[in-house]
A and B are shown apart, each in its own frame.
Chain A
Amino acid sequence: MDTGTLELTDEEQQMLRGERGLPLQKAIQYQVEVGSFFGAKRLVPVTNAHFMGDIEVMGDDGLQRLDNLARQGARCAIDTTNNARCMDLDAAEGLGQDPAEIKKEHKVIRVLRDMRVVTTDTCINYQTVYQPKLGEHVAWGDTGTVIYANSVFGARTNFESGFAGMSAALTGRTPAYGFHLDEHRRGSIEVTLETPLEDLADWGAIGKIVGHPHQDYFSVPVFQGVEQMPSSDALKHLGASLASYGSMAMYHIAGITPEAPSLAAAFDGRAPSARITITRDDLDAVYGAYRYVSGGPNLVVFSGPQQSLLEIRALAELFAGRKVAPGMQVFLTTNHAVLADARRLGYADILEGAGVRILQGVCFYLLQRLSRIREENGWTNLVSNSAKIVNTITAHRFNTVLRRTRDCVDIACTGELK
């Protein structure tokens, strides 16, 4: 029995031999292969898994694999949630998504529920569902959830994509490499902030400044000079951006995040491989580098990650009494739980009254058939306060522009591309 670089417990060896059923055997075989690539010595128990998979990304083969697992009796051994999907089932047909794929997406959801997945359809599970503790090992998919878990909670996870997340959900374990190990959690890049950050988009912009030139999963930036206590949403935009531009899975903020009581503690004896200073000019240069192209209609999008209740309230205040301008379309995405509360509190009514389209259970860049929908609508520029989404959506050939939240709302309501 090939266990690669890993030493397995008796129970894990039983799984590998198939004595606990076919699904667990498949899951642990895969974990041994992935773990061995990274030289993992063991599997580590995890308390929580977050699964990424929808019909657009997994395709027919992915659905077939999940369905086979479910039919063979696969059931999540630990609490498992799922990520934002590629369709808001109530809006999918109206948006121009494929009816055949909509059917399959219904099946994905059914199969996940059969396997005991709590289908939250959210990429902000860390704000709305589960908050792991310092040192707690989890197996999360969606890079934004991973970097938040490692950095803000001090929990421990690698990027666990679709089948890796599902394997962890089934075995209750994951290979112990990367951010499960102390040695990879120390800082490697020193970032000094010499400018206050005024908007969520600013937090994303510094993620781009740091991440883009240093693309490396094992780089860990350490920020100093953060004068005001950042909100959860600010840290979410910073992390989502670092993960997107830099493929990074962890950061520290000296004096703020739990594994960085001080700058020295965050580096723990490791010498920084790079030092970056960020000034107001650097921040302005990020916004200044985007160019609009002519054409239309144009989009303003609040998504990637899904909006929290507090972000939605802030947007409702900015949109109150205004209307989306002709030639502009505005989309906002969030999860079901947040939207229910936003409706109860009247924020959703204000936004929809202004002409904002709210989609639930999705992230905008994940939408199935997005390239063709863009062409059919003639959508040209996509403006957002999310540094992540202006990066992740580019395969669909949008011209993307990052702007601060208030500017996004002004652009949406005036049609003036500034």
Chain B
Amino acid sequence: MKTTINVSRAYGHAVTGEALVMREGFSPRYDLDRLTGVISRIGHSAEGQSLKNKILIIPTSKGGVAAGWAFQDIKEKGFAPAAFVFGKANPVMVQGAILAEIPITDGWSENALDCIASGDIVRVDPAARTIEVLQKAG
């Protein structure tokens, strides 16, 4: 069965990749070692995981303006994610993703945490405002 989630707002080109699902909010300032691209906050659901080339499924944003620069910075360093799929983004995440030209979406028609698991292959289509699960993780 194909799962499709509609999103409220979207930016960027279509992209297909492997999902990394976070169970809680995210901020590159609070949660990410920006020298390695690995989630470093003790106890974060994705602790120890690299963001590189992943489609990040993130329910909410935490505070902080760091993302405005940080996404472009980690892209330069070679470990940018492929896309951000936020339940609730804040403007900083959007500003940062647009500066780095990384696709970003905001708002979910269904709870993506229930439909998408880490390792699933997912297609993000900003023009169609959809997130599709193409293949469940084995």
Interface residues of A (CB under 8 A from B): 30, 33-34, 37-39, 52-53, 57-62, 83, 141-143, 158-165, 177-178, 215-218, 243-249, 365, 371, 391-392, 394-397, 399
Contact A38 B65 (CB under 8 A): no
Among B42, B64, B72, the one with the most A-chain Cβ atoms within 10 Å of its Cβ is B64
Q: A179: nearest residue on chain B (CB-CB)? A: B91
Contact A395 B69 (CB under 8 A): no
Residue B62 is within 8 A (CB to CB) of chain A in the complex: yes
- The one of B61, B65, B88 in contact with A141, judged by C-beta atoms closer than 8 angstroms, is B65
Query: Which residues of B sit under 8 angstroms from A60, Cβ to Cβ?
Result: 76
- The one of B25, B66, B72, B90 in contact with A61, judged by C-beta atoms closer than 8 angstroms, is B72
Query: Which residues of A sit under 8 angstroms from B42, Cβ to Cβ?
Result: 394, 397, 399
- The one of A62, A177, A245 in contact with B69, judged by C-beta atoms closer than 8 angstroms, is A62
Contact B68 A163 (CB under 8 A): yes
Contact B9 A38 (CB under 8 A): yes
Main secondary structure of the interface of A (DSSP, over half): helix
Query: Which residues of A sit under 8 angstroms from B72, Cβ to Cβ?
Result: 59, 61-62
* Given A34-B98, A37-B106, A62-B69, 6 other A-B residues pairs in contact with their CB atoms under 8 A: A37-B11, A52-B68, A162-B69, A165-B68, A178-B91, A217-B89
- Expressed in whole angstroms, the Cα–Cα distance for A141 and B98 within the complex equals 17
Contact A215 B60 (CB under 8 A): yes
- Expressed in whole angstroms, the Cα–Cα distance for A160 and B94 within the complex equals 10
Q: B99: nearest residue on chain A (CB-CB)? A: A163
Residue total for B at the interface (Cβ-Cβ under 8 A) = 44
Contact A247 B90 (CB under 8 A): yes
Contact A164 B68 (CB under 8 A): yes
Contact A38 B61 (CB under 8 A): no
Query: Which residues of B sit under 8 angstroms from A165, Cβ to Cβ?
Result: 68
- Expressed in whole angstroms, the Cα–Cα distance for A371 and B68 within the complex equals 21
- Expressed in whole angstroms, the Cα–Cα distance for A160 and B32 within the complex equals 21
Contact B76 A394 (CB under 8 A): no
Contact B31 A38 (CB under 8 A): no
Give chain B nearest CB distance to A40 CB in angstroms.
Answer: 11
- The one of B35, B41, B63, B98 in contact with A243, judged by C-beta atoms closer than 8 angstroms, is B63
Residue B132 is within 8 A (CB to CB) of chain A in the complex: no
Contact B66 A57 (CB under 8 A): yes
Contact A59 B61 (CB under 8 A): no
Among A37, A52, A394, the one with the most B-chain Cβ atoms within 10 Å of its Cβ is A37
Give chain A nearest CB distance to B6 CB in angstroms.
Answer: 16
Once A161-B96, A247-B25 are accepted as A-B contacts, the answer to whether A57 and B69 lie under 8 Å apart by CB is yes
Once A34-B98, A247-B61, A394-B41 are accepted as A-B contacts, the answer to whether A57 and B70 lie under 8 Å apart by CB is yes
Contact B91 A217 (CB under 8 A): yes
Q: B62: nearest residue on chain A (CB-CB)? A: A247
Query: Which residues of A sit under 8 angstroms from B20, Cβ to Cβ?
Result: none
Docked complex: B29-78 residues within 8 A CB-CB of A:
29-35, 40-42, 59-70, 72-73, 75-77
Contact A392 B64 (CB under 8 A): yes
Residue B113 is within 8 A (CB to CB) of chain A in the complex: no
Query: Which residues of A sit under 8 angstroms from B66, Cβ to Cβ?
Result: 57, 161
Residue B95 is within 8 A (CB to CB) of chain A in the complex: yes
Residue B92 is within 8 A (CB to CB) of chain A in the complex: yes
- Expressed in whole angstroms, the Cα–Cα distance for A216 and B106 within the complex equals 12
Contact B30 A395 (CB under 8 A): yes
- The one of B40, B41, B89, B92 in contact with A161, judged by C-beta atoms closer than 8 angstroms, is B92
- Expressed in whole angstroms, the Cα–Cα distance for A383 and B131 within the complex equals 42
Contact B98 A159 (CB under 8 A): no
Q: B8: nearest residue on chain A (CB-CB)? A: A39
- Mask: chain B, 98-110; 1 = CB below 8 Å from A; 0 = not: 1100001010000
Give chain B nearest CB distance to A299 CB in angstroms.
Answer: 16
